[in-house]
Amino acid sequence: MVIETNRVKRVIRLGEVEYRTGLARSTIYRRITQGEFPKPIPLGSSRVVGWLESEIDNWLDRKIFESLNCGD
């Protein structure tokens, strides 16, 4: 696995993920379990997690693309 080091990584917390996706907490975690949403990364203790902003952006981009191309 290659990790880019020259790009700024931003970690966002659950509240921002909910706001940006329009999904409820329970839906986010259900989709994670189903493999349909990016997994959070631990930020210390097991109860503190966040998501890479770039992964959420990519997920949103895919959803937009799918919705625009559903009739093709």
Residue 3 pLDDT > 80: no
HEC readout, 9-58: CCEECHHHHHHHHCCCHHHHHHHHHCCCCCCCEEECEEEEEEEEHHHHHH
The DSSP element (H or E) to which 62 belongs, if any, is helix 53-68
pLDDT of residue 48: 92
pLDDT tens string 13-72: 999 999 999 999 999 999 999 999 999 999 987 789 999 999 999 999 999 999 888 755
pLDDT of residue 65: 93
Q: Which residues fall within 8 angstroms of residue 40, CB to CB, at 6 or more apart?
A: 14, 32, 49, 50, 51
